[in-house]
Structure 1
Amino acid sequence: MKLTSVLKASALAAVVAAPAFADPITLRIQTHYATEHPTGKMIATWADDVQTMSEGDITIEMFYSSSVVATTETFDAAINGILDCDATGGAYQTGKNAAFQFVGDLMGGYDTPWQYYSWLYYGDGLAAAQKLYNANDMQLIGWSLYGQESLSSSKPLAGFADLKGWKFRSPPGMETEIFEELGASPIVMDFTEIFTALETGIIDGADASGLANNVGLGLYDIVKHATYPGFHSMPADHLACNKAVWDGMTEAQRRMIETAWQKLSFHIALANEKNNAEAAAKLQTEGVTLYDWSAEDRAAFRKGAQVAWERWGDKTPEARDILESHKAYLTQLGLLSE
């Protein structure tokens, strides 16, 4: 009888002492990728991972192809409560603060996505970037990197010297400044204008995407030269959530979201590495010449890019802090000299 009473008392104490769990949550998240895009499919898998691991505690409502607001407005939509999280990329927010350039795409810095990831997780990258996101009432959860982009060209791009006078389609922003500094002639134009511009000779080449994606776009039906592996651009997508929403989750909920996102991000890099390698092998049998720049030419490009880095680093204190973090880590990796 005494034992029974003790057990009942212990059970009651355990119930009273048990932590209270937050109510189940639904997260509204927008991505710019379409449902049929390879990355869009992987994001759907991520959402399913989170929902399965949480056993119904977390429901994720994904919006694809920027169906709620324009891609560039996703970040503000999460800040203002229209959405809960943004799965686009920091580079879309450079108008808000130049520092977002350095979390969106350093340009010319790291040679591989694994080096770039290591800055985030093993340098002080996440802490440095988090200050920027928190100042905007957002929480950076993680990145996804598909790897280096390739330049496509109608003429050889064998090394640094071939950039002189090279006319190409460029996205706006720091990239145009870097290539102008190096003697190239970047022309900012919409994605849809690339093909006509290449066919008519208005441009010699284009910065569009990674090698496999460029194949899918049909660029090598027009031009027969490309850089591979690339060196000039490695854009990072992000998952960033409204900070109040993030802080309102339980630690278990946050851990599941973070862990599943790391799985997603590394699979995106691995899948694209495989796809690009397969595309490279196929293109070479079809008469496309691929150029793997030497360490010396990559270093020369990086040196030129630093002029634009410094200019952007001077725009805001946050930009300077994140740039200095990158530079310190690049020096540790032997990619920058003291």
Structure 2
Amino acid sequence: MKVLKCAAVAAATSVFGLSSALAADYTLRIQTHYGPEQTSGKLAQQFVDDVETMSGGRLDIEMFFSSSVVKTVETFDAAASGILDGDMTGGAYQIGKNPGFQFVGDIMGGYDTPWQQYAWLYNNGGYKTANELYNEFDMQLIGWWIYGQESLSSSTPIAGPEDLKDWKFRSPPGMETEIFANLGASPIVMDFTEVFTAMETGIIEGTDYSGLANNVSIGLYDLVKHATYPGFHSMPSDHLAIRKDAWDALPDDLKRIVEVAMQKLSFQTALTFEVANNEAAAKLREQGVTLHEWSAEDRATFRQAAQASWQEWAKKSPEAKSLVDSHVAFMKTLGLIQ
């Protein structure tokens, strides 16, 4: 009997020792605005699984979905102050802190594809310039995850710049309103929750919301029958940013694991939405929705209007100027601008 009892104690001690050995050495608490049921939310969960698996359980990530801790726009500050450790929303929410965040959040009329935008960050020195901005607020930029070009949705055709004249549409605040207004459109800043009523009552003719697949998922094309696709005007960069002291506390091997997992998330996000948007486009065409693909010349017209706004915003802070100069130089190497 004593032998059995000793064996049981030994087994329990062994199991306890194993569980202790497997306990995480480090934990990062990160918030995203995406829900766990959304495509981007599922991709974020895969990122968590990748980090925990590659680290052998040494690094645990607590992911808070659907902005469940603080409001989306407050995520960055919550991470910087220690309520959270990481922000998985986007830099565009922080433009009020420094106009430079416009050019890490949504460059507006800049690159044609996520791959070009990733190339600026990862292979052209863009990361160093961007991270200097984040470091000023005690945050470390880890990387981007970009779902691709957004599509404008409208009750009237938007086949080129001429169709923007007097076009009334819902726009987010900031640089976008300036660019479209300079092209003759009538942007109206409103919360997206008001869009459906505004469309039904004729207050607006269209809206800027998201990529084509996301637009389909919320039923936009039950109301309107025109959209731009592929998009050209906006390609937001969601980011992962971690509080600087929490990042610096990680050993180099765990940092590398997070960086590699982030680049996988970057790749998978662009790849997943490329397929989803094309599938959505095929179904919409069958349903009688007209998709307008702007010509290279028309996209260049929008990009020229955007550049004028970039230069105005570059005057707002030294960081904004550094980022604009970096983007412009790289776009010239790609032949996107002259």
Question: Per the shorter chain, which TM-score range?
Answer: over 0.9
Alpha-carbon separation, structure 2, partners of 1:122 and 1:62:
29
Match of 2:208 in 1: 207
Give distance in 1, aligned partners of 2:243 and 2:287: 48
SS at match of 1:238: strand
Secondary structure of 1:275's aligned partner: helix
Q: Deviation of residue 160 (structure 1)?
A: 1.1
- How far has the Cα of 1:181 moved from its partner? 0.9
Match of 1:118 in 2: 119
Structure 2: give runs of 5+ residues left out of the alignment. 1-23
Counterpart in the other structure of 1:186? 187
| Number of the residue aligned with 1:243 | 244
Distance 2:41 2:119 in 1: 24
- What is the match of residue 83 of structure 1? 84
Q: 2:222 corresponds to which residue?
A: 221
Paired residues for 1:140-179 under 5 Å: 140-179=141-180
* Overall identity of the aligned pairs, in %: 65
CA shift, 1:122, in A, is 1.3
Between the aligned partners of 2:194 and 2:72, the Cα distance in structure 1 is 20
**CA deviation after TM superposition for structure 1 residue 69, in Å:** 1.0
Distance 2:296 2:146 in 1: 22
Pairs within 5 Å for 1:26-65: 26-65=27-66
Counterpart for residue 285 of structure 1: 286
Distance in 2 (alpha carbons) for counterparts of 1:79 and 1:183:
40
Quote the offset at 1:265 in angstroms: 1.4
Instruction: Say which SS state the counterpart of residue 47 (structure 1) adopts.
Output: helix
2-side partners of 1:39 and 1:255: how far apart? Answer: 23
Q: Counterpart of 2:311 in structure 1: which amino acid?
A: E
Q: TM-score, normalised by structure 2?
A: 0.92
Opposite residue 186 of structure 1, the aligned amino acid is P
CA deviation digits over 1:15-52, x for unaligned, max 9?
xxxxxxxx810111111111111111111111011001
Alpha-carbon offset, residue 112 of structure 1: 0.7
Post-superposition offset of 1:331: 0.5
Runs of 4+ with >3 A deviation: none
- One-letter amino acid of the structure 2 residue matched with residue 100 of structure 1: F
Deviations 1:236-284 (CA, angstroms, capped at 9, x unpaired): 0000001111111111000000100111111111110100001111111
Per-residue displacement from partner, 1:154-195 (whole Å, max 9, x unpaired)?
Answer: 111111111111100001111001101111000011111111
CA-to-aligned-CA distance 1:128-177 (integer Å, 9 cap, x gap): 10110111111100000000000001111111111111100001111001
SS in 1 for 2:240: strand
- In the alignment, the residues of structure 2 paired with residue 221 and residue 69 of structure 1 have an alpha-carbon distance, to the nearest angstrom, of 33
Name 1:104's counterpart in structure 2: 105
Give the Å deviation of 1:200.
1.3
Counterpart Cα distance in 2 of 1:177 and 1:50: 41
SS of residue in 2 equivalent to 1:77: helix
Aligned equivalent of 1:296 = 297
Distance 1:286 1:332 in 2: 40
Q: When the two structures are aligned, how many residues end up with a matched partner?
A: 315
1:82 counterpart letter in structure 2: I
Distance 1:100 1:281 in 2: 35
Q: Secondary structure of 1:328's partner?
A: helix
What is the distance in 1 between the residues matched to 2:86 and 2:300?
Answer: 37
Amino acid at match of 2:286: T
Report deviation, 1:217.
1.1
State the shift of 1:211 in Å.
0.6
CA shift for structure 1 position 70: 1.0
Displacement of 1:201 in angstroms is 1.1
SS in 2 for 1:152: strand
Residue 87 of structure 1 aligns with an amino acid whose one-letter code is: M
Larger mean CA deviation between 146-155 and 66-75 belongs to 66-75
* Cα distance in 2 for residues equivalent to 1:63 and 1:43: 10
Whole-Å Cα distance in 1 between the matches of residues 134 and 63 of structure 2? 22
Q: What one-letter code is carried by the residue in structure 2 that aligns with 1:319?
A: A
Q: CA deviation at 1:306?
A: 1.2
